[in-house]
Chains A and B, each alone.
Chain A
Amino acid sequence: MGGLSTDIWQPISLTIELAAFTTILLLVLGTPIAWWLARSKAWWKEGVATFVALPLVLPPTVIGFYLLVALGPEGPGGVVASLWGARTLAFTFPGLVIGSVLYSTPFVVQPIRNAFEALGDRPLEAAATLRASPSRAFWTIALPLAKPGFLTGAVLGFAHTVGEFGVVLMIGGSIPGKTKVLSVAIFDYVETSQWREANILAAGMVVFAFAVILAMTLVERRFARVAP
């Protein structure tokens, strides 16, 4: 039984680690994209927005398949991996982070973009008349006002990464402590008829998902009451 508990905790902590890394990266990379999508007048911007939204519709197997090729020795991932003498980024934690970032992008970018768009031009124009530089206006006005969007994006990005299965299954290789995340562990437990363990993890996921969605709804309602 002692072995059982470490077996069960490892995928949980790994999953949290993966989701945290992914969320932070997505906030850093997603914010400029969301800002550009919200402010740009370029005619092709909806093309970019559509590309960002693709993972909403594509089955994880499409992303998993292309990633397996792209991360491998004949793809760009192999080139990057060769920097430290490896052959592939598949089966590694960084590989999973890349997959998760791609897969969860729309869940982070979309709410932030919406929040930026909801600001409208007036607060920034007002800042400009007060001689605030564009970057100062961004940091001191746009970012704080868009806080609910960031909160929603971060929570959704984190939760969606925790709930990811197909992509990780295809590029992970199920290595304990490195790539064997929660959803894969549940799959393995079911496959090997260890239903007690599967049950513990699965029930935990249900509680987690419930708490996340409920918390989101409550937070959004609070912001909605404060904002207008």
Chain B
Amino acid sequence: MRLARLIVVSLGLAAACFLPSSAASAASTNVAVAANFTEAAKEIAAAFKAKTGDEAVLSFGSSGQFYAQIKQDAPFEVFLSADDARPKKLVDDGLGVADSRFTYAVGKLVLWSKSLDVTKGDEALKAGAFSKLSIANPAAAPYGAAAIDTLKALKLFDALQSKIVQGENIGQAFQFVDSGNAELGFVALSQLAGVSSGSRWLVPQTLYAPILQDAVLLKKGAANQAATAFMAFVKGPEARAIIEKYGYSLDAKN
């Protein structure tokens, strides 16, 4: 008897979860967000909801993983990538809306440490008085590739290669430093918004190719008014103010 009741209750709960909430008043859209843009995206989504009543449901991860998932028909309607290559590829693949692509932010790379003084970053890197340097997976995350660019431009890559540890995305690269397991690491400036601890070195833009972060409307969202509205909102002045507040620039020149 108890078992039967348990089964009935579980089935009811499962049904409640899966039934489409047809009575929902406002529209919503699924947005895939590159990990470095997490905090800014949350704030933008909140402002978007306040203004339109529509909900942007955010998923966070690495751009590479999202690209693979979108190619396999993941239910995302908007993709805020950490690079410009993958949104372009999605358009080429026929999964993105061609003229929807635009650069919503230009990322800034920072060397950050909680235990060392890295305010003169190139000197701290040259001194090499550390055992682990954390970066994001360079093959999958643009900030990781920018970190490798920087090390190569400083001619330190060969010397430091053995000290590199990789996070799967920039979020994990940050967390390796934050937990103290790596003494220093290359992270996104946006991740340090609201972080006062440790020391940091804003890597000069001359040392790495600009991190152009592109947004693209996916074919799945082309007919969803909430998705197109969210794309327009990210382009608009309110979102741009939030994006700048988190340390991104809005075009590659500065």
Residues of A that sit less than 8 Å from B by CB: 68-69, 71-74, 86-88, 90-91, 169, 173-175, 187-188, 190-193
Determine if A73 and B180 form an interchain contact, defined as CB atoms under 8 angstroms apart. yes
CB A126 to nearest CB in B, in angstroms, measures 44
Whole-angstrom distance between the alpha carbons of A68 and B182 in the complex? 11
CB B61 to nearest CB in A, in angstroms, measures 9
Mark interface residues in B164-192 (1 if CB within 8 Å of A CB, else 0).
11111000000010011111000000000
Determine if A73 and B181 form an interchain contact, defined as CB atoms under 8 angstroms apart. yes
Interface size on B, residues (CB 8 A): 23
CB A155 to nearest CB in B, in angstroms, measures 30
Given contacts A173-B166, A173-B167, contact A191 B137 (CB under 8 A): yes
Whole-angstrom distance between the alpha carbons of A74 and B115 in the complex? 12
Q: Is B68 an interface residue (CB 8 A)?
A: yes
CB B60 to nearest CB in A, in angstroms, measures 14
Residue of A68, A88, A169 with most partner-chain B CB within 10 A:
A88
Residues of the A chain whose Cβ atoms lie less than 8 Å from the Cβ of B181: 68, 71-73, 87-88, 90-91
Given contacts A74-B180, A91-B132, contact A191 B140 (CB under 8 A): yes
Residue of A69, A71, A90, A91 with most partner-chain B CB within 10 A:
A91
CB A189 to nearest CB in B, in angstroms, measures 9
Determine if B168 and A86 form an interchain contact, defined as CB atoms under 8 angstroms apart. no
Contact check: which of A88, A174, A193 meets B137 at CB < 8 Å? A174
Determine if B165 and A173 form an interchain contact, defined as CB atoms under 8 angstroms apart. yes
Q: Residue on B with the closest CB to A184?
A: B168
Residues of the B chain whose Cβ atoms lie less than 8 Å from the Cβ of A191: 62, 64-65, 68, 137, 139-140, 168
Residues of the A chain whose Cβ atoms lie less than 8 Å from the Cβ of B179: 68-69, 72
Interface residues of B in 24-63 (CB under 8 A from A): 62
CB B174 to nearest CB in A, in angstroms, measures 13
Q: Is B10 an interface residue (CB 8 A)?
A: no
